[in-house]
Structure 1
């Protein structure tokens, strides 16, 4: 279910933040400050239907990150992006805020929680404990994760994937390197019925070509636009072929043309993922949980897999625990 939002329910604004024109949506409301942060491929408008659902007792904003949409280019690395979020809050005279985001921007949320706890009233991870910094993603000899990202670069970014990836891949949270680090910020993670994302065994590169190795992963995705697309890729060879040949990045295009027709290569990539990246991901998630300790709440949703775009496709699944979390912070 997707609600429709009128432009009357938000104002589109631009302000100068540390010399960079920064776009954001203002949904209004009063009380606790809430800042919605988009992942790669989007801008503030991805939250146009979700923002109004949070305005009771809260002031809600959605920022277009620097280098995306109509915001000017800044650093794409996690530190620069995270620091800009704080500067954005400073410009609007916001002393503390709850930051909400999904997918890749989970890295920025974790960066804020570790480095600016006095400015962070809370963190909401919309797709569970997404640990973008797992080193095995970059050690993969088949470059599965890299090629997947190169094949679907941000349509709203102002530069190419190679630049973005090189800037972001250096980030490692403090708690990932040092077990003694504790994060003293309230946090909420939207997880599946088992307390995970549910997609940890999934390998994006194989999903992208409709590989039979990913059939179980696709089957566990709840009804959504994402599932419809992935099923079509798997079931329609012509559509899959068009998708691959339309990849703008020539390196990624050639990679997927080969991968789609090489079952041995698919098997090897899948084997590496299940033997190395998958267990490393679970370990990194446990480290994140340990770092937050009692400050972390898991909102278990009755689905097998958290897509991360429930805020867009099925907000009714997640709005209650998020609003309860915000009320709890308001009452503290």
Structure 2
């Protein structure tokens, strides 16, 4: 075989292998048992809603600040024996849409009610982690007849109990323990390695789907950089949300 033909065959073969490898990376599928839909909650804004199915009253899981509904991928199926389990990715994060607002806590609460209406839920229970207390408390204040109850998971800030006179979010954040070292090159070699990093520094593993929401995957399958969600730099951050709630309880 002429040399140029052998070279051409090698190039074509290498291209095919690389193409198949890239296809394999792009075809990663979330192993969690949910279906996914997008619900319109505002003009030009749709939010991601995960549905794990289940029996009984509807329950809506709301993630903490900066996370998406995929953070519940491992936890939600455990509830499906007794509840019909949903999760909402709040606007400005993950694949949900975004538009700014002057009243973020109230707007997020209205987004939750819009999902309840769209999916025709009959008085679901809201379960929220951390800053999700913002939209839960907003729903309880403005639409108490639309829900059956609320569960706060490490989400009850001091201003909810002290008539707005306790520590604010900035003061509470100043009490945080030192941050762990950032992930190094070995930790970013793959999403499996990144999961192990978080298990090492936090004591638990995030679902891979949540990490893929938070981090960009490179063409080689390694982890590239963290995503910059519009909600993180807007009013949908702990300080802004908590400031609004603090004003409302005075």
Normalising TM by the smaller chain, what interval?
Answer: 0.5 to 0.7
Change in 2 beyond 3 A, CA 1:16/1:147:
farther
Q: For 1:88 and 1:128, how far apart are their aligned partners in 2?
A: 21
Contact 1:13 1:23 in 2 (8 A): yes
- Secondary structure at the counterpart of residue 171 of structure 1: helix
| Long gaps (5+) in structure 2 | 1-29, 180-225
- Residue 62 of structure 2 corresponds to 37
Q: For 2:228 and 2:92, how far apart are their aligned partners in 1?
A: 8
1:21 to 34, 37, 46: 46
- Residue 229 of structure 2 corresponds to 157
Once the two structures are TM-superposed, the CA of residue 110 in structure 1 deviates from its matched residue by 2.0
Change in 2 beyond 3 A, CA 1:79/1:135:
farther
Correspondence 1:247-262 to 2 at 5 A: none
1:87 and 2:114 aligned: yes
Contact 1:24 1:62 in 2 (8 A): yes
1:106 and 2:133 aligned: yes
- Residue 129 of structure 1 corresponds to 156
Change in 2 beyond 3 A, CA 1:109/1:83:
same
- Secondary structure at the counterpart of residue 170 of structure 1: helix
- Residue 52 of structure 1 corresponds to 77
Q: For each residue in 1:23-62, what CA deviation from the matched residue of structure 2 results, as whole angstroms up to 9, or x when unmatched?
A: 1211011320100001111001000011101111321100
- Residue 244 of structure 2 corresponds to 170
Contact 1:111 1:173 in 2 (8 A): no
- Residue 96 of structure 2 corresponds to 71
TM-score (normalised: structure 1): 0.44
- Residue 316 of structure 1 corresponds to none
- Residue 235 of structure 1 corresponds to none
Q: Please state which structure has a larger fraction of its residues in helix.
A: 1
Contact 1:10 1:25 in 2 (8 A): yes
Correspondence 1:87-236 to 2 at 5 A: 87-127=114-154, 129-131=156-158, 134=164, 137-138=167-168, 145=173, 157-161=229-233, 163-165=235-237, 167-168=240-241, 169-172=243-246, 176-177=249-250
Change in 2 beyond 3 A, CA 1:69/1:39:
same
Once the two structures are TM-superposed, the CA of residue 107 in structure 1 deviates from its matched residue by 2.5
Change in 2 beyond 3 A, CA 1:173/1:52:
farther
Number of corresponding residues: 168
Largest Rg, 1 or 2: 2
Contact 1:38 1:102 in 2 (8 A): yes
Once the two structures are TM-superposed, the CA of residue 70 in structure 1 deviates from its matched residue by 0.6
Change in 2 beyond 3 A, CA 1:161/1:131:
farther
Q: For each residue in 1:191-235, what CA deviation from the matched residue of structure 2 results, as whole angstroms up to 9, or x when unmatched?
A: xxxxxxxxxxxxxxxxxxxxxxxxxxxxxxxxxxxxxxxxxxxxx
Once the two structures are TM-superposed, the CA of residue 66 in structure 1 deviates from its matched residue by 0.9
- Spell out structure 1 runs of 4+ moving beyond 4 A: 132-140
Q: For 1:65 and 1:91, how far apart are their aligned partners in 2?
A: 15
Q: For 1:65 and 1:156, how far apart are their aligned partners in 2?
A: 15
TM-score (normalised: structure 2): 0.56
